[in-house]
Structure 1
Amino acid sequence: MGKYLHPQQRDHIHTLAARFIWRSELPTWLLIAAVYGGWFAALLYWQTLGLLASTLLLIWFTAWYMSLQHELIHGHPTRYPWLNQLFGTLPLAVWYPYGVYRDSHLAHHRNDHLTVPQDDPESYYFTQDTWARFRPWQKRVIHLRNTFIGRLLLAPLLDILHTLHGAALAFRHADRRGMAMWLIHVALLAALFVWMARLGFSPVWFVLAVSYPALALTKVRSFYEHRAADDPLARSVINEAGIVWRVLFLNLNYHSVHHDLPGVPWYGLKAIYLHSREAYQQRNRGFVVRGYGEWLRQFWRQPVDVTAHPGVKQGEEYGPSAGISDVRR
């Protein structure tokens, strides 16, 4: 449980956790059924639904599946990581093996290192040395990626390219664990594409018109989700988003609460936030936004300043932070 909670907050969370709905993890079980049922039904009945309707449904369920994978990584709905992994291993979103995302994301949850380029594998920042070495065209690409529109249109492509580069490195360096994750992922993806083709649904269409837009949707949530700040409590945003976004992102818009209490299930985040709204807003130093439309209006063309990390003067980078992008969901 978060080490910054006051006794009243702790009592409230203990009360919530004692309820049947938390103990049974029923909402997450229902979510798994809804995501898998909706995704496969949209494909099975795509000819009846029509290409446009089935594509739109698949975009939603694919993005929702990525939110579900995040919940599985954090220990829901069971206490057994291997069982949770089974629910998230199918490559319904195409690009990322579950294990790659899991390892990156759990490392991201070291709050004292949040946003620091050398230590946070999901940071959008660079060290000042790295930023100084970038060529002008690279800086232009990064600035474009840091606009709201660029985050939707360009960032998925950069992430995909970087992820594929990571796969190539795993095989080049004979990383057995990484190779195994990718081989299993590719085998399952090939089987999925064969099944799609037999249904008459083009795998190429799925990749271009479903998986890419679905990945772009996840970029709405992660846009300016973290900022560089001296106080780790002030680094994660609270986004008071509307119900559609909250459902799609499983309440991760309350991101400061999630980083404070990463083990809390998705259906508990809003209740905890509303119970201690003023306390959380004070603790994250007012890093609050009133819905994703505010980000769109403010940054549709103007880039958010996520470039050289102000707290890192020098040092060698490793992993994803040394490139332009990585797995960030």
Structure 2
Amino acid sequence: MPAYLDAAHQTHINQLQSSLTARTDWPTWLLLLGTYAAWFGLIHYSPRLGQGLTLLLLVPLITFWMSLQHELLHGHPTRLAWLNKALGYAPIALWYPYTLYRDSHLLHHRDAELTCPHLDPESRYFDRHAWDRSSLAGRGLHWVNKTLFGRLLVGPALALANLLAGELSRLRHGVLQAWAMWLCHAACVAALLYFVHGQGGLSVAAYLLASVLALALSMVRSYYEHRPAASPEQRSVINEAGWPWRWLFLNLNLHLIHHDLPGLPWYYLPRVYAQRREDWLRRSGQFLVRGYGALFSRHGFRPIDSPRHPWH
């Protein structure tokens, strides 16, 4: 439990974490069962629904699956890492092996290194040397990526290019863990796409498109999740998003609370925030966004900050 929490707040959080709901984690189990059922049902009935409607429903479902995978790697719904991995290994979102996502994301939770290039694996900032070496076109592309509509447009391509570059390097260097992970992932992706193709309502190309669009949709959440700041606790946002976004992202819009209490399940984040809202805002240095609509209106076409990190 973080030392800055006072006794009453710590007691409240301890009570939540020791509750029957938290110990059984039945809300997360329900989400898992419901998501798998929804995915299989959507693919199975895709010939009746038609490709257009199937795609429309599939994109948020894949995005939701990525949010659910995030919950699994943080120790839900069980305390057994291997079981959570088995529950979340299905490559519904296609691109990122669960193991790679888990390991890199847990490194991201080293809060002292948040946003720091080369240290935070989820940082989208450049240090001075990398920025100086980049081309004019490359700089322009990353400035576009700093607008929200630009992030939706070019963000998936940039993310997948970085993934490809990093993982090909590991494979070329003969990292056995990387070879085993990618061979297993490729086999699972092939099986999934074979099943999709066999149902006859959705082409493999359409599923690939859905997965890219879902990756773009997930980037609405990550667009302004973190900022450079002198104090690590002031680098994670509190976004008071509306309920559709909160559900889609499983309350990760309350990102500072998640970083401070990474083991707290998704369904308790709003309650912990609401109990001490002003305290959390002070801790964040007033790093508050009043919903994703505010980001679209203010930074749809205007960069939110510089791609270059201010002190690296």
Taking the TM superposition and a 5 Å limit, the aligned residue runs for 1:165-314 are: 165-200=165-200, 201-208=202-209, 210-312=210-312
Deviation at 1:20, TM superposition (A): 1.3
Q: Measure, in 1, the Cα distance between the counterparts of 2:177 and 2:245.
A: 35
Aligned residue identity for 2:276: S
Query: 1:85–1:306: structure 2 CA closer, same or farther, 3 Å change rule?
Result: farther
> What one-letter code is carried by the residue in structure 1 that aligns with 2:96?
Y
**Corresponding position of 1:321:** none
Contact 2:64 2:248 survives alignment (8 Å): yes
- The one-character-per-residue Cα deviations of 1:151-185 (angstroms, maximum 9, x if unpaired) are 11110111112212223222201010011111111
Matched residue, 1:44? 44
Q: Aligned equivalents of 2:223 and 2:264: distance in 1? A: 22
Partner of residue 83, structure 2? 83
Code of the residue aligned with 1:133 in structure 2: it is R
Specify the code of the residue in structure 1 equivalent to 2:59. Answer: I
Deviations 1:279-322 (A, max 9, x none): 0000001000110010111111111214221222xxxxxxxxxx
> What is the CA–CA distance in structure 1 between the aligned matches of 2:138 and 2:87, rounded to whole Å?
38
Which residue of structure 1 lines up, in the alignment, with residue 126 of structure 2? 126
Q: CA RMSD in A?
A: 1.0
| CA apart distance, 1:230 | 0.3
Say which SS state the counterpart of residue 154 (structure 1) adopts.
helix
Q: Equivalent residue of 1:227, what SS?
A: coil
Give 5+ residue unaligned stretches, structure 1.
313-329
Q: Is the 8 A contact 1:251 1:267 kept in 2?
A: yes
C-alpha distance in structure 2 between counterparts of 1:41 and 1:15, whole Å: 38
Output the amino acid matched with 1:79: R
TM-score by length of 1: 0.92
Q: Structure 2: which 5+ runs fail to align? A: none
Query: How far did 1:21 drift?
Result: 1.0
| 3-state DSSP of counterpart to 1:103 | helix
The answer to whether the Cα contact below 8 Å between 2:55 and 2:206 also exists between their aligned partners in 1 is: no
Matching of residue 21 in structure 1 with residue 21 in structure 2: yes
Q: 3-state SS of the aligned residue for 1:304?
A: coil
TM-score normalised to structure 2 length? 0.97
1:92 matched to 2:92? The reply is: yes
> Which stretch of structure 1 is more off in the superposition, 199-208 or 242-251?
199-208
Counterpart residue identity of residue 32, structure 2: I
Q: Matched residue of 1:216: which SS?
A: helix
Q: Residues of 2 paired with 1:299 and 1:213: CA distance?
A: 20
Percent of paired sites with the same residue? 46
